[in-house]
Structure 1
Amino acid sequence: MELTLRELRDEDLPLLFEQWADPVAVHMAAFTSPDHMERDAFERRWTRLRADETVLNRVVVADADVAGTIGSWGEPGEREVTYWLGRSFWGKGIATDALAAYLSVERSRPLRARVASDNVASRRVLEKCGFRVIATERGFAEARSAEIEELVLRLDDPAPAE
């Protein structure tokens, strides 16, 4: 499978919103905003992200199909990475390959990530790329309407994916 990362295009937004609004994916992500499922809020969020010079976002393209997004934000020493793939792209190694490729673009270290503790697949993606659990926190997961456990992971040095 050929995987590339590229800049976001306006024509990507409708498909990305479909991926973003998938209830199964939302449940797995857990920590979403209250307006997560609203199209206008989605577009406002992307307008803000695209205008913010501290945010580094890329679209994940797998065999010419938009598979999702990956990005990072925050001040040096506190930057966090996040990714979101459409469910039809899960379980194929795309997230791991995308994160490994992204880490050659996003060179800030340390780099943090957060994942719901029961999101085993996403945790595994992060660990394959060198992230290690450094803390466990409890927080309110909007998508689940409950407080859940969240893992905080950190990447200190670049590490190749397995």
Structure 2
Amino acid sequence: MRDVSLREFEDGDLGTVFEFMRDPESVWMAAFTAEDPDDREAFDAHWRKVLAMPGTTNRVIVGDGRVVGTIASFEMEGDTEITYWIDRSVWGRGVAGRAVALLLDLVPVRPLYGRVASDNAGSMRVLTRAGFEKVGTDVGYANARKAEIEETILKLS
């Protein structure tokens, strides 16, 4: 993918994002997802809240002219965290790494944290290449896997 950029959410983006977030393989890898990825009403209600939250930065990721994911920073329990979702059709093409780099330029808050299902090697690689370091683990219930799993906590100082 040659051109990757971030932009504000626009009308119509949520339909595209909803489809990304229903992909079974993507849901499995993300692990900590909505209880029912096919529930459009719950998805829309969640995103209305997310997009209205003060202190958050929400962007869509545009690759070669089309929406290919989302990326955000948000505050949770006093820490600023990063999260992203990449359309599986562009996995392995450098989109996540470039989007993270763009968000890090946009959001200067440090430290910045990321949480990744510990078996999600791709996301682990993206964040460590961006300078995040592993600082711990936690166990939480992953809706996508219907079980408690380990997640790795990473920090960018």
| TM-score, normalised via structure 1 length | 0.92
2: CA distance, partners of 1:31 / 1:76? 17
2: CA distance, partners of 1:103 / 1:6? 14
Deviation at 1:34, TM superposition (A): 1.7
Partner of 2:61: 60
2: CA distance, partners of 1:75 / 1:126? 19
Partner of 1:7: 8
1: CA distance, partners of 2:73 / 2:53? 11
1: CA distance, partners of 2:76 / 2:4? 28
Partner of 2:32: 31
Partner of 1:112: 113
Q: Is the 8 A contact 1:77 1:109 kept in 2?
A: no
Structure 2 letter corresponding to 1:67: V
Superposition RMSD in Å: 1.3
Residue by residue over 1:106-125, the C-alpha shift from the partner in whole angstroms, topping out at 9 and shown as x without a partner, is 11111000000110000000
Q: Secondary structure at the match of 2:105?
A: coil
Partner of 1:159: none
Deviation at 1:79, TM superposition (A): 0.6
Q: Is the 8 A contact 1:30 1:144 kept in 2?
A: yes
Partner of 2:43: 42
2: CA distance, partners of 1:37 / 1:130? 34
Question: Percent identity among equivalent residues?
Answer: 47
Deviation at 1:45, TM superposition (A): 1.3
Q: Secondary structure at the match of 1:15?
A: helix
Give the unaligned 5+ runs of structure 2.
none
Deviation at 1:32, TM superposition (A): 1.4
1: CA distance, partners of 2:54 / 2:139? 30
Kindly tell me: are residues 65 and 78 of structure 1, through their superposed partners in 2, closer, same or farther at Cα, counting changes over 3 Å?
same
Partner of 1:134: 135
1: CA distance, partners of 2:61 / 2:27? 18
| TM-score, normalised via structure 2 length | 0.95
Structure 2 letter corresponding to 1:60: I
